[in-house]
Chain A
Amino acid sequence: MSRDSLLDSHLRKRTVSQPERDLSTSEAECHSLPKPSQTWFKWDIERAEWNILIVSTMLKLLLYPAYRSTDFEVHRNWLAITHTLPISKWYYDTTSEWTLDYPPFFAYFEKLLSIPAYFVDSRIVDLNNLNYGGWSVIAYQRTTVILTELVLGAVLIRFIRGAIDPPTQRIISASIFLHPGFLIVDHMHFQYNGFLSGILLWSIYMARQGNKLASGILFAVLLNFKHIYMYLAPAYFIYLLRSFCMTPSGQPEIKNFVSLANAVIGVFLASFGPFILMGQIPQVLSRLFPFTRGLNHAYWAPNFWALVTAADRVLLFIANRTGLKISINESGVASTSRGLVGDTIFAIIPNVKPIHTFIITLAFQLVVLVKLWRNPTYKSFLTALTLCGYTSFLFGWHVHEKAVLLFLVPLSLLATERHAYFRTFVICSVAGVFGLFPLIFTPGESIIKVLYSICWFALVYVPLYRQVYEYPRSLVFVVMDILEKVYLAGFPFLLVLTTLIPAYTNRRVNQKVDDSSRMDFLPLMMTSVYCAIGIVWGYIRLLFVYLNEEKTYQGQLSTIR
């Protein structure tokens, strides 16, 4: 595109967006009226949307025979538990090692799914039929993932309809629906993140439409499906308290507060009620919050602690080389060589306790929350929400790499606000998705995850890039821009390295040259550290942008009150 037409499109955007804004705000008000019940059940799907749905579903259908992790068996076991046992034994059963450790709504959800499962093949819900891998169970469970993901699709379509700039929102919606994270974690690895993110986005959508009560209720429901969403709870708490339970001038709105409190308590009662009656709450909580795990997950999630752990390894290496007299923690040395398994113990850096991670997380979240309290708009809420999830991912105790989806999904909604957001989105998405790659390690599926992610990236990046492009304004920005580009360009090399190292060692092992099992951990560590750099940088960017919001042109979402 030439300069002229670029400018032209910018101008057009500015001029066109003015009346559109007014229109959309009035539309948003309309939506908050008691009208939704009519619009929700309308088949309001355009042809392009059907295309995306059908094509992506067929692709997922092709992935049925793909690699599946133990999470598949976890969910099968939960189907069996909820189907065969009475509710009083759900959280006590230990037939399989994969005990039920999600909140009650998810258990009810599994109960619901287990009913058709019984008719499809009764062996699916047989409690003692551990590791059942028949054709029927694969087809059934994979199909439930695809079907429940329709919640996500439906919500994303709603997002397009009331959007300020529908064509752009359509790309964002499509990018979330087709996110490689979902493909890797849900359709190969096996989980229900698409469905759960659907509920999250539904809640966010309600906030956008001004229906904050519904937003709060939906989030409470979500929390009862999967408690990892507690990472986002602080933002919800502050936002609803400030903007729903108080007037803009700061007067309390008692009626709103009571209705919200009642609704949320009602949701929790519906979920935990039976277990309160049976007096099983301590048991349920002990299942939900097992505090017996280490700082890092088996494969280090690409967060702050991955960098610290890597720094520790490097320091240990230097200490050993130079023979410096530093107090070296012997169990930490052992932890290094074990690499993958077990708790992480540092050799040089002082050890980290859960309370430390908790304090750091809270401190960073507080910064964000103060800003949200002062400026409780939709866009501010969305950013704060993203940052809350982000902070927990970066500094939390025993974080899974899969948790990256928690903030990538809301971050996508911000992608086209301005170039600063877009660049953050690009860096975080690339690093985050790449950080998910080690979940899938079988060669056939690895090719697919890489090809799919590249396709997705091209389809998202190319059309959005031009819309938000801004010239860097000073030398600092130019340097930053170049460094970021260099960082992004490093990913192909990282991919080649992480592919070649195991291939090389395999070859050596096959030819009985040596068996260097130490090398196994190297690609994982490289991936983790390299992605962590991008993710930490993305965090700094987003935090900075949030705290120093531009005054002149803020992006379209700022118009939503």
Chain B
Amino acid sequence: MHKRGIRAWIIPLLVFTSTLVKFCISLGSYSGHSTPPMYGDYEAQRHWMELTLHLPFRLWYSYDLQYWGLDYPPLTAYVSWICGVIAHWINPTWVALDASRGIETEGSKIFMRSTVVAWDMLVYVPALLVFSRVWHGNRSGRTQELALLTLLFHPALLLIDFGHFQYNSVMLGFTVLAMNFFATGQDLAGAAFFTLSLGFKQMALYYAPGIGSYLLARCVFLGIPGPGFKHFTRLAITTISCFMVLFLPFYLPPFAPSFMHILNPISRIFPFNRGLFEDKVANFWCASNVVLKWRERVSRSMLVKFSAGLTALGFLPSVGVMLNSGWRMRMSAASNVAEREQEDQEKQTPFLPLLPYALLTSSFSFFLFSFQVHEKTILVPLLPMTLLLSGAPVDSSVYAWGVLVNNIGVFSMWPLLKKDGLGFQYIALLILWNRIIGYNPLRLPSGTLVQLLSLVTYTAAIGLHVLEFFFNPPSRYPDIYPVLNVLISTPVFVLAWLWSIKCGVEVGWAIGGPGPASASPTSASTTGDSIGRRAGSVGLGAGEEGVVMEGSFRQKGGRAVSLGTSQVNRRKKVGVKSRMGEEWM
């Protein structure tokens, strides 16, 4: 493709084709299609447009709760309101209050589908474009394009957002934007965007330990007390004021009856009165429930405590590593004050590469151990996984893990997709994505744990599909296939969670060495060689020991870095080339 002078066209074309694919998926069925009286997620989202359009703020979180009452944070409500206004302008019957319930006309379907694509284009796609520029800034244009390709065609998200019908890409997009701002050192903007992410969907809370620990480590790194404390105050004020603004109409008297009215949305957003898990979800509770039957043995309140404790245990290692790195950097950096000030200006963070791993660990621990998890929630851990995967060469273990977890993530949603009538889309997207990223499980580095795991899991998954296709479940166990699905998927997710902890620790070591005595990256910049070596091994997902070198590093010791990189890049190019399939045209 590059040879033919299409280079300048690749990124627009990628965005364009991904949009095409999104519309193609949209042709299919959606959650709750023609299943009265409750329908599904599609109807929920449509219903929210209807109620936000026609009702005053104070009724948003209390109107007819039995029929898909609003239970997402305010930003979703505002987005629904905007969509509702447009829908009303085009065709008022699509969002008529109460009268439009369960409407399934062709026009209304196209409108709903287009809103998802539009919000995705507004938030998620720009976030990814910036991500590939910022996080892979020191990599070749080709790698950046490949990263974008990997992210744009991410099958799990495409299937859920454009097939099943939800707006997850907005929530994920805000998180990616936040990460982009962290990478460029604009912590306040990053925190604000993460607040937006939380304000769109409470699921973003799964990232909170990762992001929180990163920001805390930043404060530690800047020095507490002193600049760090000031930074902390600023962050706190930004976050709180963002939340205040988001919830404004729900407690300020002109709109809301009283300040206490705020409890109304809060109790809707965090429903602790639901079960431990719904349907079948590939997490610890559901998988172990096959044998242990939790709900019969332990009381609900105990279960809540259990799950909270386990979740916290799950993400603590990554928080620890992050804070520890911040602390060690501070120690070593303190020895070279002049350079540290310079770095402050450039707002570089040496432990930035830990961020995706921290997000992965914390979101996995929530997914596996927390309360009230849906199968769709796997999208949350899949995002940092795919971000890591996006820049990884084919022969790295990040690549192997990334693709495995993604594929199994999609597989774990199969019962849901089957119910929605998205079987063809499931097959098509899995094959499409695996092909365009050049994945072949047989060609992974042989003898590694991840290859063995991949082969075993894929065999089991394909076997299960074949069984399900040819045989109906026995009448004694009507749920046998979803349960088997959970039992195949859960071990992969547990191992991936452990792997993410391991990687986090390794990256933590690689950044500053095991102890405070080792040289800091900034002081090492004088010795171009050592930095070059580091920069070479780096890049997001270049290896477990990966450290991201930012653009400004390049400005400082830029030449040395790029010289050092070339060797390692040569190795990578082999991989990249075969992934790209040499030439497309």
Contacts and interface: CB of A to CB of B under 8 A. Distances in A.
Given A58-B428, A455-B13, A171 B23 contact: no
Interface string A77-121: 000000000000000000000000000000000000000000000
21 contacts: A47-B581, A48-B582, A48-B584, A51-B435, A51-B436, A51-B584, A59-B20, A62-B428, A63-B27, A65-B424, A66-B27, A139-B424, A174-B585, A443-B110, A444-B109, A448-B27, A451-B19, A451-B20, A455-B17, A462-B6, A507-B90
Given A443-B106, A448-B20, A65 B27 contact: yes
A448 B23 contact: yes
A452 interface: yes
B480 interface: no
Given A54-B431, A59-B21, A455-B13, A64 B584 contact: no
Contacts of B429: 58, 62
A322 interface: no
Nearest to B90: A507
B585 A55 contact: no
A364 B91 CA distance: 51
A41 B93 CA distance: 59
Contact of A58 (B5, B23, B431, B581): B431
Contacts of A1: 5
A61 B423 CA distance: 10
Contacts of A61: 424-425, 427-428
Interface string B413-430: 000000000001101110
B168 interface: no
Lowest 4 A-B CB distances belong to which pairs?
A: A463-B4, A62-B24, A61-B428, A58-B432
Contacts of B24: 59, 62-63, 448
B424 A463 contact: no
Given A48-B581, A54-B431, A62 B4 contact: no
B433 to A, nearest CB: 9
Given A54-B432, A459-B13, A463-B4, A62 B585 contact: no
> Which applies to chain A's interface (DSSP): helix, strand, loop or mixed?
helix
Interface string B97-126: 000000000110110011000000000000
Interface residues of A, number: 37
Contacts of B255: none
Interface of B: 4-6, 9, 13, 16-17, 19-21, 23-29, 90-91, 93, 106-107, 109-110, 113-114, 424-425, 427-429, 431-432, 435-436, 581-585
Contacts of A466: 5
Contacts of A510: 91, 93
A65 B425 CA distance: 10
A458 interface: yes
Of B9, B23, B27, chain A has the most CB atoms within 10 Å of the CB of: B27
A463 B585 CA distance: 9
Given A50-B581, A65-B29, 17 more contacts: A48-B582, A48-B584, A51-B581, A52-B584, A54-B432, A58-B428, A61-B427, A62-B24, A62-B425, A62-B429, A170-B585, A444-B27, A444-B110, A448-B23, A458-B13, A463-B585, A510-B91
Nearest to A56: B432
Interface in A132-158: 139
Contacts of B424: 61-62, 64-65, 139
Contacts of A52: 584
B93 to A, nearest CB: 8
A510 B28 CA distance: 26
B27 A462 contact: no
A171 to B, nearest CB: 6
Contacts of A462: 4-6, 9
Considering residues A51, A63, A139, A452, which has the most beta carbons from chain B within 10 angstroms of its beta carbon? Answer: A51
A443 B112 CA distance: 12
Interface string A451-474: 110110011001100100000000
A447 interface: yes
Given A58-B428, A463-B6, A451 B23 contact: yes
Contact of B28 (A50, A58, A65, A442): A65
A417 interface: no
A444 B108 CA distance: 11
A171 B436 CA distance: 19
A65 B33 CA distance: 14
Contacts of B436: 51, 55
A463 B581 contact: no
A119 B230 CA distance: 74
Q: Which of A47, A58, A139, A458 has the most B CB atoms < 10 Å from its CB?
A: A58
A495 to B, nearest CB: 16
B245 to A, nearest CB: 35
A48 B424 CA distance: 24
Contacts of B6: 459, 462-463
Contact of B113 (A64, A444, A455): A444
Contacts of B13: 455, 458-459
Contacts of B582: 47-48
Contacts of A64: 424
A52 B432 CA distance: 11
A8 to B, nearest CB: 13
Contacts of B109: 444
A111 to B, nearest CB: 27
A454 B17 CA distance: 10
A431 B244 CA distance: 55
A445 interface: yes
Contacts of A452: 20
Given A47-B582, A174-B585, A444-B26, A451 B435 contact: no
Contacts of A66: 27
Interface string A504-522: 0001001000000000000
Contacts of B21: 59, 62
Contact of A443 (B91, B107, B427, B581): B107
A163 B120 CA distance: 43
A174 to B, nearest CB: 6
A443 B583 CA distance: 34
Nearest to A466: B5
Nearest to B429: A58
Nearest to B7: A462
Contact of A455 (B5, B20, B29, B110): B20
Contacts of B90: 507
Interface in A37-77: 47-48, 50-52, 54-55, 58-59, 61-66
B68 to A, nearest CB: 24
Given A62-B21, A443-B107, A458 B581 contact: no
Of the listed residues A139, A170, A444, the one surrounded by the most CB atoms of chain B closer than 10 A to its CB is A444
B3 to A, nearest CB: 8
A55 B435 contact: yes
A139 to B, nearest CB: 8
Interface string A436-447: 000000111101
A459 B585 contact: yes
Contacts of A139: 424
A156 to B, nearest CB: 13
A1 B584 CA distance: 21
A532 to B, nearest CB: 28
B86 to A, nearest CB: 13
Contacts of A54: 431-432, 435
B20 A458 contact: no
Interface centre among B6, B427, B585 (most CB of A within 10 A): B585
A282 to B, nearest CB: 44
Contacts of A47: 581-582
Contacts of B29: 65
A93 B185 CA distance: 76
Nearest to B430: A58
Most chain B beta carbons < 10 A, residue from A442, A447, A454, A458: A447
B157 to A, nearest CB: 15
B290 to A, nearest CB: 32
Nearest to A52: B584
B16 A451 contact: yes
